[in-house]
Structure 1
């Protein structure tokens, strides 16, 4: 399959590192003009330069904006009025017991993980419908289906993304615009690697041992039995962003290594 997104503009939020950066790299390799986003100009510039170096002929630029706020989303849209492919990847996570999660954390997680995608979809979906082509992808999580007791606030936001995604897909009926979600499982991004390194230090283990123990203890139903690589998630996102994925709409696509025990 030859995925060619030449002539399309793709915005990937939270793409200075981790899954988002891998998605941006994958889309750049298909010929899309990729816009990297992060909160600081320095990180955005570094990420864009890295992609330009890694992908021959890449068309890439960076826009610094904090998409967790309405003002940040508005600034991003003002700097980038038209988008063909919107990847709502920006997100945060933090293991914390339910009784220790204050109100402000619930609001912060909802703003970053849910409202960023809501605001950007609200800005870009109408023009996609008008042009009769577009792709919106929400990067959710298997935690949307298996709410983790160690971070219920995170799981709540990931479930909310599925609801928003499916609802938006209903608005695309009869068009060539699609809205889907991708559900990664434990993935070895930079942020997760830091988390695993902390676990290893606390337990006197190697990083590999800590990662393996985490999967076996907290994601015991995993068929993959390891953390996924960021490229493995990006591959799914690049496909669902492609012209070839025209019949996939309103779906929650699992890339979680078989953690969720269902045939659906």
Structure 2
């Protein structure tokens, strides 16, 4: 193993640990406060779909001989830059997103007070069903293609690789939009109370290492198709870091020490006041 290969593996596991740990602070904060107030279910809910898609696509890129052969035919004999830690990270993220989502959907089962934001917004529901419909359409196109199992026609025809790409793009779409509802909620509340900044710091550091690992892998291969051939992983790190920067600015600069608007304060502190009892 060369030095660069060692660094790639090291960065891969460190970002895996950072991103994996980032799933815990929000659910732990919710549990300690016995409330989900100050945060919205949109984030963990759409994450369930995103990480399921990310797990399926990573597993296919990593372990399917057909997908890897079609990838090599399309990208000049190169292999996907997906690592085993990408698969374990995606599966872990999916499971933890389900657990966190359950805190919003079933607050009484967790012993939480009812809070604002426990139902997905129409915007997020539209993205959810739109992604599912899009993947189904591509699957029908691939199934109808006579060259779907071919490696020689992978460059110009619809093949199973395209179906895997369609699934992977779900994670890309989710990454672009999943943070937006929480950014807006923080803005409306003029506070980040109830939203864990620890998960954001871990996410930011993990994004830096993820992009670095992918750059090292592409450099080792001597071709930047390692990035263009896996745009989801590349965008996952970059888009997340942009949103993370917004959350960091909100928490440490714009709303530093703020408890939220007076009308929201009881909810943000997880109290059992009249305001919360009217929200179910």
For normalisation by structure 2, the TM-score amounts to 0.32
Greater share of helix: 2
* More RCO (CA 8 Å, sep 6+): 2
For normalisation by structure 1, the TM-score amounts to 0.34
